[in-house]
Structure 1
Amino acid sequence: MPNSKSGTVILSGRRGGSRAENPLRAAVVATLAAAILGLCGCAPPGVGPGVAHFSASLDTVLSARRAGRDAVTADIGADRTAEWISRRQPLTTLPGCDAMDRRGDPPALPPCAILAPDPVSPPATGPLAPQTGLQGALQRDDALFDALAAYAHALAAVTDARDGGTLSAAVTGLSTGLSGLASSVGRLDGGAGAAIQPLAPAAGLLGQGLSLTLEARRLAVLAEAVSAADPAVAVLGRTVEADLQAIRAHQVARAQKALHAAMAPLRAPAPALPPEDYRDRLARAEGAVAVLEQTRAADPKALAAALVGAHHRLALSLAGDGAADDPEAVGVALIGSLAAFARAADDLKAAMTPAGLSDAGAAGKK
């Protein structure tokens, strides 16, 4: 918590009671500012650029995970449709499709979906989608990732605050984000969830004296929040890795299936096959290889380790641990962790999102 002493702001860390004067942290921020601004161009000048950089990379990971989850759902739906077509499956609709008005409390329209009546075959998407297998596991983890996303956005709001009023509102949002993180992580690890203590009220954090600069207030809030969330992020890192590994396995299997299908007409091409048709089939096979290679390049284990490591390094730097270290060395270590996380996040997005796969397929046809 910040306090004023002879005009100097002191920010105390949580680990071992270590303390660091704000001038050290200002030196670290100054070191980070030029390098990180060059890396991503996303950090507001002079305001915890490392936090903004981490938040942006985390948002990239969460976006890639959402895209991967949605692709799994779409694939399962496509498989179900193909099965129905092959069997000429008799179909029906849910009774809710005939409803015109909302019902219940809170009022909501009853679900409408197509399904096979006998045996009852639930739809692959929508509110009646089966909560089993990979699709069910990913859906059950959504709340954890939503909590992580809320935390990332709350950190960004604090770094973007431009005056005392917006900072106060951002602190309130960050406190809510930490509470959500604690609740979600507590289901996986009660100790990690309980370790997240609520932030002090905004008035307590921000009203430490008029001598505190806005940047010092921001850093005080960020130091408190990132340190509090660090154990939870470590626990969530395991869920991030597990989910992304499962999505990767699903996507690799489908990419391999697509490659085998594309190669089938090339294994024994008819002698009379026109050159243009052969060229088209070869291009499709090359595109399938490119998609498979791009998909296999995803490394969820390295990504999760980079996420947890970058957050921990951020917590150490903001809390002032290692105050005796050379400030430049502290800044360089943080920059290295954040850059590694950013690279891993970008690689994951390229391998796991539909746009990345589409780009890979197009490249294979050139």
Structure 2
Amino acid sequence: MTTNRLDALPLRPELRGKSPYGAPQLDVPVRLNTNENPYPLPDALVARIAERVGEAARDLNRYPDRDAVELRTALAAYLSRDGFEVTTEQVWAANGSNEVIQQLLQVFGGPGRLATGFEPSYSMHGLIARGTSTEWVSGPRRADFTIDTEAAVAALATHRPDIVFITSPNNPTGTAVDRETVIALYEAAQAVKPTVVVVDEAYVEFSHADSLLPLLDGRPLLVVSRTMSKAFGAAGLRLGYLAADPAVVDAVQLVRLPYHLSAVTQATALAALEHTDTLLGYVEQLKAERDRLVTELTALGFDVTPSDANFVQFGVFDGPGGAHAAWQYILDRGVLVRDNGVPGRLRVSTGTPAENDAFLDVVRGLKKEHSA
């Protein structure tokens, strides 16, 4: 006899009552709910991917480079573009930044250990923590969604976490974290005990502010994680990476699965890195469109959270049905945005100019109807 009821299975207690992470995947004309880059890869890059994958295919009877040295070297060169040198030994890559997060929690978290982040933030930090039997405690934010540094420092002293997550730009709010805050939290954490501090920079290429990567200098327990899903327009690739002290890179290899990055993944990522300048040109277009969304939504009278990412959080929806009713109104008119569960708020990804125009037309109607 089979069953599909989770509560009938001998699950670990921390997983009972939980739901898997995921956003709705609906067939609608305009999908602006998962922070994807809306531009398809350019033809020249598609051709180069085919070449590199074709070369890799000749050796698919063999295991891939277990340590992905060529890819890590290319990622280090990319990270070093702005003048702060990163070496191959400081870089690690995995199947999406979520696997990077999981590996960090497997090494530095686990039973009897505690992780903290500042919510609302990327929900996978807490979900992966629970999945690795790491206790999760949420830290404080202000009403404007910035981190309350003084309160956060006090929380670190109270909870004594083993790993701290700081998301900058933050998801779902879009707010960036200034370097002084990160320094203060890093120092506060180390004052209690040796603590790994992870700065999740999945959206940093879209930010008005500089990367926090230079803060790695002199901070051996600081980690900066990145992804190729957003700026590189490669969400389907599933390639994430981190930069840290070489000792941290050695540590995550204690838990990585053998040959975890396929030869095809490595070849595709290397091809994408060859076209960095072209792909970052798309990022500049998206930044301009993101800023247009902020301006237009503000002019319509919405409360808009300043954004350094490729999405915008807006509200406040406090009428009948709240944010979910507004989400449904927008969906019924062919545009899918994200209801992230932040009270009274929705999040819209930056699309092409035409997609953004379609979204703005719908929310103008929403605003007009709610003002009537």
TM-score exceeds 0.5? no
Larger RCO of the pair (alpha carbons < 8 Å, separation 6+)? 1
Higher strand share: 2
Higher helix share: 1
In our comparison, the structure showing a higher alpha carbon Rg is: 1
Instruction: State TM-score, norm by structure 2.
Output: 0.26
